[in-house]
Structures are given as structure tokens and as C-alpha cells.
Amino acid sequence: MSHQASRPQLDAVVERVKEIGLRPEVSLGEDRAVIGVIGGNAYAYREAFSHLPGIQEILQITKPFKLASREFQPRNTVVHVAGVAIGGDEVVMMAGPCSVEDELMLLETARFVAAQGARILRGGAFKPRTSPYSFQGLGEKGLQMLSAARDETGLGVVSEVVAPADVEMVARHVDMLQVGTRNMQNYALLQEVGRSGKPILLKRGMSSTVEEWLLAAEYILSQGNRDVVLCERGIRTFETSTRFTLDLNSVPLVRELSHLPVVVDPSQGTGRWSLVRPMSLAAVAAGAQGLIVEVHPQPDQALSDGAQSLDFETFERLMRELRRLLEATVSQPV
Ligand code: PEP
Ligand code: MN
């Protein structure tokens, strides 16, 4: 309360806290009173309380996300995707083209990344493109190609879903559903994937704070789906020399705040293929439990994101250097 607050103003706040079913804890100081508000959903009433006279400041003490928090669950969540454990001892590589373009390029890429040690095949069939005139993806045909590549290589498959109405259909073809950066705050989609029964790869919104990202995860978790993997993919900043600013601070931070596995997408995060390898290594050094990397047999001919896609040679070098790094790492951070 403000130091000018009157006793009736203090009592009115205490009464209001009780009315909504929360517990007030008043501590009277030398020149002001502090009212602790205890109860599950206190966060939701924050804004309404700001209208009561005599209040100086409302401070949030506990995190607004519950199911996603380490306080709720201290031990790490391990998410199983087609038999691959994400969040366990191994750093999991997910790799493949930005978009599924045709069966041949997909199979060629899948075979190569599998031979190099990738465990999950990525490939977009529904592409949320900035321009409506850009290649939008092959849709369900693309998902069928991903399924065929899974059958041939044994890789798990992750692909993006962009519309709530498509969730059931996409879920029939893939082992993990990706929610993209542009949809991180599409709450209808988050709830629908929460009911899908599939593991979810939740990209960070390009303009979202870590707290908003964890609240997006909370939407999925609160539908009963506990298999959420968080993916840092870069945020918008004033810097224009790279496509996004890959916020690697968020990796150890989110691992402190949450029990959910965290992976990094250095392809979207940098927008430049030459930066993908060094930033992959940096991400793993920072505690990322997996990477999702765009790989294309001929990046100069890719229908989307060619500039940030690795060719086979660079991907092979990345996998080699990752192995060296992991051997050198005595213990994973966190
Ligand atoms: C992608 O993975 O190709 C993609 C579009 O990701 P994001 O949503 O992070 O931009
Ligand atoms: Mn892409």
C-alpha cells in the first residue's frame, strides 16, 4: 500500500482479497503495509486490483505458469518421440529441409541425416510464409512423403501444423507436431494440440518474452498433454544483420524456470547457413538438449529458406564437431 493509504483503504483491499477466495497476509511496517495475496489464481486478479485506492504497487512473486514450472515438478521432463528421448542424457539432432519439396529430395536428405546420427526428420508441409505468394508447402501430400521417409529410415518425423482444424489430420502422419513462431500465441491452436495426444515442439514467438513462451506451454500442458519440448528460434531485435537474434540466454534460463526440455533452431535463429554450425555448438554448450537444423541437398535451389539451409558437407562437419564438443563437455550445464 502507499504510505498515505488509510486504514479503511487497507481493510477494503483485505476484504476484496477474501471475497474472491484468496488469503490475505498483512504485514504492517514502519510507514506502510504490505498485503501478501496467497492462492492459486491470484495472478488473474492483478489488473482489477490496480483500481482499488491506496495501492502503490502490485508485485508478482510466484510465476504465473504452474505446470511448466520447476517448482511444480523439480525433475526434468523427458519427451519420447517415436522412441527417441528428448530431455534425457543425449543431445537429439532433428534435421531436414525447411519444406518438403518432393519425394526424392526428402528421401535423399532423410537418408543422409540419419546416416550422420540425426534421430528425427524435420520437414514443413504447411508453411506459414510471410507472403501469400511464396511456396505454401505440399499439404497432406508432403505429410505422406514424410511418412514414407520414416518407414525407410526409421527416423521420427516432426512437422508444423498451422490451423486448429488440421491438427487431427497432421497428427495422423507425424510423431511430433510443431507450433511455429507465428502461432505461439494462437491459443485455439495451442489448446487443440494439447488434446492431440502427440508430443509438441513449441517454437518461441519471435516477439515473445520467456514468460509468454512458458505461458503458451502452459496452454498445452493444461489440456493434459505433458509432452512439450520448447524451441528457442530467435527473436526480433534492432539488429538487422542477421534474420533474427538467437537468444541463447533463454536456454539456461528456461532450464532453471521449467522442467521441460529445451532445443534450439539455429537455422531460423540466424538466417545464414555459415552461422548455423557455430551457433549449434554454442547452443549445446549453453545446455540445449537438442537442435533442429535445416538441411537441403542443394540449398541454392530450395523453395524456402535456402540461405539458412546446410548442404550435406556442412551438416556432416557439424555432426563431427558436435560429437567432439560432447566428448569434451564434462557435464551438461544445469
Ligand atoms: C520452420 O521451422 O521452418 C519455421 C517456419 O520455423 P519458425 O516458426 O520458427 O519460423
Ligand atoms: Mn524454415
The per-residue pLDDT for range 232-287, each reduced to its tens digit, is 999 999 999 999 999 999 999 999 999 999 999 999 999 999 999 999 999 999 99
| C-alpha to C-alpha distance for 130 and 128, rounded to whole angstroms | 7
- Residue 334 confidence (pLDDT) above 70: no
Instruction: Report the DSSP beta bridge partners of residue 94.
Output: 120, 292
- Dihedral angle computed from the Cα positions of residues 215, 219, 220 and 223, in that order, rounded to the nearest 10 degrees: 150
In 3D, which of 263, 243, 229, 260 has the Cα closest to residue 304? 243
Instruction: For ligand 1, pick from 94, 203, 204, 296 the residue to mutate: most ligand atoms within 8 Å of CB.
Output: 203
What confidence tier does 28 reach under pLDDT thresholds 50, 70, 90? very high
Above pLDDT 90, what percent of the chain? 91
Extract the C-alpha cell encoding 135.
511456396
* CA dist 229 → 78, 88, 93, 220, 222 (Å): 9, 12, 13, 11, 15
Q: How many residues does the chain have?
A: 334
Ligand 1 midpoint to CA 173 (Å): 19
- pTM, full prediction: 0.92
Atom of ligand 1 minimally distant from the CA of 180? 8
Give me the pLDDT at residue 50, please: 87
Give me the pLDDT at residue 39, please: 85
- Residue 138 confidence (pLDDT) above 70: yes
- Mean pLDDT over 125-141 rounds to 95
In 3D, which of 68, 20, 323 has the Cα closest to residue 220? 68
Residue closest by Cα to atom 8 of ligand 1 = 180
Above pLDDT 70, what percent of the chain? 99
Extract the C-alpha cell encoding 280.
549449434
Helices (H), 40-139: 46-49, 103-116
Give me the pLDDT at residue 169, please: 98
Atom of ligand 1 minimally distant from the CA of 292? 2
Question: H-helix or E-strand containing 168?
Answer: helix 167-173
Burial 103-112 (b: 16+ CB within 10 A, else e): bebbebbbeb
Give me the pLDDT at residue 43, please: 81
Question: H-helix or E-strand containing 96?
Answer: strand 92-96
Ligand 2 midpoint to CA 318 (Å): 18
| C-alpha to C-alpha distance for 74 and 258, rounded to whole angstroms | 8
- Residue 329 confidence (pLDDT) above 80: no
Q: How far apart are the first and last CA of the chain?
A: 38
Give me the pLDDT at residue 13, please: 96
CB 209 within 8 A of CB 196: no
Give me the pLDDT at residue 333, please: 52
Give me the pLDDT at residue 201, please: 99
Residue closest by Cα to atom 5 of ligand 1 = 180
Query: Residue 23, exposed/middle/buried by CB under 10 A (0-12, 13-18, 19+)?
Result: exposed
Phi, psi of 5 (to 5 degrees): -60, 140
CB 123 within 8 A of CB 142: yes
Q: What is the mean pLDDT of the chain?
A: 96
Residue closest by Cα to atom 2 of ligand 1 = 98
- Mean pLDDT over 116-131 rounds to 96
| C-alpha to C-alpha distance for 188 and 175, rounded to whole angstroms | 21
What confidence tier does 93 reach under pLDDT thresholds 50, 70, 90? very high
Residues contacting 124, CB < 8 A, separation 6+: 97, 98, 99, 100, 137, 142, 159, 160, 304
Give me the pLDDT at residue 331, please: 57
Query: Residue 56, exposed/middle/buried by CB under 10 A (0-12, 13-18, 19+)?
Result: exposed
Residue closest by Cα to atom 9 of ligand 1 = 181
As for ligand 1, residues whose beta carbon falls within 6 Å of it are 98, 124, 180-182, 203, 233, 265, 268
